[in-house]
Amino acid sequence: MNYFDWIAKWSVYTPCKTAVASVDTGNTYTYKELNQLSVQVEKCLREEYSIQKGDRIAVLACHSPEYLVLFIAAQRMGAILVPLNFRASVPELVYCIRDVEPVLFIVEKEFGHILKPVKEEIFTRSVEFQNIFEQAAGFDSGALPAEIEPEQAVFIFYTSGTTGKPKGVLYTNRMLFWNSLNTSVQLEITSVDFTLNALPPYHTSGWNVLLLPMLHRGARVDFIRSFKPKKVLNYIQDQSISLFLAIPTMLRMMVKNPAFKNFSASKLKYIVVGGEDLSISLIDKWAENGILLRQGYGLTEAGPCITSLHHHDALWKKGSIGKPNFYVDHKIIDDEGLEVEIGEKGELCIRGHIVTPGYWNNSAYTFEKIKDGWFHTGDIVKMDKEGFLYMLGRKNQLFISGGENIYPLEIENLLLKNHFAKEVAVVGVEDENWGEVGVAFMAGIKHALSDEELAQQLRSLMASYKVPRHFIYLDSLPKSGIGKIDRKKLKQLFKQIQHEKRNIS
């Protein structure tokens, strides 16, 4: 039996234990049933669709136990699953499909309306998601011999493309295994744990933060197709969920829901949080309700579990992304590639078995990001004397004003910490005098100051050159599918506002 075939192993050890279930359909599978169904699907894909090792299978569907079955079957075959973003536009989907050249495109019925315009742009063999399982029912569940290779890619995840066209990140079995070890050690996952997966499948976090590490440990995972604050709060409370994964946007929505007032979850050890910056006010809000948040840091290209802040450190190390996980090497370097001292800012670089071998069809970008075995994250961090890391911003978000390097996250954190707004994003824009200046986009305003009064207060809290030159107030900030603020849209919005001002004047 293969070391990477975790479901097959648990189907022998605990065959009758519930492995996964769907909140939406009520479908429940024991480890034995999950294993048997995955074998049937594997045989169907081999015989009906001629899937072979290395073939890509693109999937457009919500997360579910059945989607997991597709993954298990693909992994055993050496095929590569390509989860596509069902929130993407048709041109974006066409780009990814053309780039990855799937042998098969599996589309859930709910997204059938997207298939026609996609096929008008590019030919690809397609099948409805449910048809796979109807066809698979005709095959027996006798196991096939399989050798799951460590270096074989099992996923291709497309990044959001905030720095250009989406890039396909290769995710291998070796990454899967070592990330699971990192996660299990740091989060102390056991076979008695129970989680609800409310994240979509087109991001690595929807698979590799809790879902697969928990199944590696023989735990239970339930699925909900789409995040609904009240439904999730009630499920966590009523079903004795022990671990939950969320992005800050989800946590804010849960706090705002009336059900949060009486929310009580005695079995919930903590909530794992990642995907975007976590405000201190949100940490405090959950702490008031007896729930600790465990912040982490990760990338599509590595882990995604790279650092973790223990929930008992969450209150006295607010704002930290924690310490590097068990099986990962790290260093912080300056622009010359030299390691910086404690307390100094620099780019975080990581190395280890959790790092991607590269990008699909993009060797140039692979060589740019991976140098001498080190993955250059592009994230600017600093480490304190106790070894805790703090995120200062993205290297490519840095802007230079009058010769001074400015990191947006530093300004954003100060605005949030001093309760000027509930949401803030600072971007650099061109300026004929200073090269670039900062623009602060703010939502959920908590002050009645004029722009000049606000700027004056900020000058008492930070160097004057860091104070944003412009303040723009919005009802909410635009975000990507995983909840990250879309800075590209904010820059476009600023240009549009400036253009309209010139036309008026």
Q: Helix 112-121 vs helix 90-100: angle between axes, to the nearest 10 degrees?
A: 60
Question: Which CATH number fits the domain that encloses residue 76?
Answer: 3.40.50.980
User: Domain for residue 310, yes or no?
Assistant: no
State the chain's mean pLDDT as an integer: 92
- Which residue range(s) make up the domain with 411? 397-504
Pair of tokens at residue 275:
């995907």
Q: Report percent pLDDT > 90 for the chain.
A: 74
Question: Which CATH number fits the domain that encloses residue 486?
Answer: 3.30.300.30
User: Domain for residue 194, yes or no?
Assistant: no
Residue type present at position 295: Q
Is pLDDT above 90 for 271? yes
Residues 273 and 260: their CA atoms lie apart, in Å, by: 18
Where a domain ends, among 107, 130, 148?
A: 148
Structure confidence by residue, pLDDT tens digits, 344-364:
999 999 999 999 999 999 998
What DSSP designation does 339 have? B
pLDDT for 222 equals: 98
Structure confidence by residue, pLDDT tens digits, 29-66:
999 999 999 999 999 999 999 999 999 999 999 999 99
Lowest-pLDDT choice from 1-5, 256-260, 373-377: 1-5
User: Domain for residue 7, yes or no?
Assistant: no
- Considering only CA atoms, which of 233, 238, 300, 301 is closest in space to residue 271? 233
Structure confidence by residue, pLDDT tens digits, 61-98:
999 999 999 999 999 999 999 999 988 888 889 999 99
Confidence of residue 3 (pLDDT cuts 50, 70, 90): confident
Is pLDDT above 60 for 162? no
Structure confidence by residue, pLDDT tens digits, 332-347:
999 899 999 999 999 9
Is pLDDT above 70 for 372? yes
pLDDT for 1 equals: 47
Where a domain ends, among 116, 148, 180?
A: 148
By three-state DSSP, how is residue 28 classified?
A: strand
How many separate domains does the chain show? 2
Highest averaged pLDDT of the listed ranges 85-94, 221-230, 274-283: 221-230
- Considering only CA atoms, which of 294, 205, 27 is closest in space to residue 18? 27
Is pLDDT above 70 for 245? yes
pLDDT for 481 equals: 66
Q: Would you list the DSSP string of 217-234?
A: TT-EEEE-SS--HHHHHH
Pairing of strands 374-383, 370-371: antiparallel
Q: Where are the alpha helices (DSSP H) in 50-172?
A: 65-77, 90-100, 112-121, 129-136
Q: Where are the beta strands (DSSP E) in 325-409?
A: 329-333, 346-351, 370-371, 374-383, 389-394, 399-401, 404-406
- Of residues 400 and 478, the one with the higher pLDDT is 478
Is pLDDT above 90 for 275? no
Residues 465 and 462: their CA atoms lie apart, in Å, by: 8
Confidence of residue 504 (pLDDT cuts 50, 70, 90): low
| Arithmetic mean of pLDDT, 137-143 | 92
Confidence of residue 393 (pLDDT cuts 50, 70, 90): confident
- Considering only CA atoms, which of 353, 299, 296 is closest in space to residue 324? 296
How many residues belong to the chain? Answer: 505
By three-state DSSP, how is residue 207 classified?
A: helix
Is pLDDT above 70 for 505? no
User: Domain for residue 73, yes or no?
Assistant: yes
pLDDT for 30 equals: 98
The residues near 490 (Cβ < 8 Å, ≥ 6 apart) are 425, 427, 439, 441, 477, 478
Structure confidence by residue, pLDDT tens digits, 126-135:
999 999 999 9
- Considering only CA atoms, which of 57, 36, 35 is closest in space to residue 46? 57
| Arithmetic mean of pLDDT, 213-225 | 98
Residues 191 and 189: their CA atoms lie apart, in Å, by: 7
Residues 134 and 441: their CA atoms lie apart, in Å, by: 50
Strand partners of residue 440: 426, 471
pLDDT for 407 equals: 79
pLDDT for 337 equals: 93
| Arithmetic mean of pLDDT, 200-226 | 96
By three-state DSSP, how is residue 304 classified?
A: strand
Confidence of residue 164 (pLDDT cuts 50, 70, 90): low
Other beta carbons less than 10 A from residue 128's beta carbon: 16
User: Domain for residue 291, yes or no?
Assistant: no
| Geometric angle at alpha carbon 85, from 30 and 209, rounded to 5° | 50
The residues near 280 (Cβ < 8 Å, ≥ 6 apart) are 318, 319, 416, 417
User: Domain for residue 373, yes or no?
Assistant: no
User: Domain for residue 44, yes or no?
Assistant: yes
Is pLDDT above 70 for 426? yes
Pair of tokens at residue 218:
């023989």
User: Domain for residue 268, yes or no?
Assistant: no
Where a domain ends, among 94, 120, 148?
A: 148
3-state helix, strand, coil in the chain (%, to 5): 35, 25, 35
By three-state DSSP, how is residue 499 classified?
A: helix
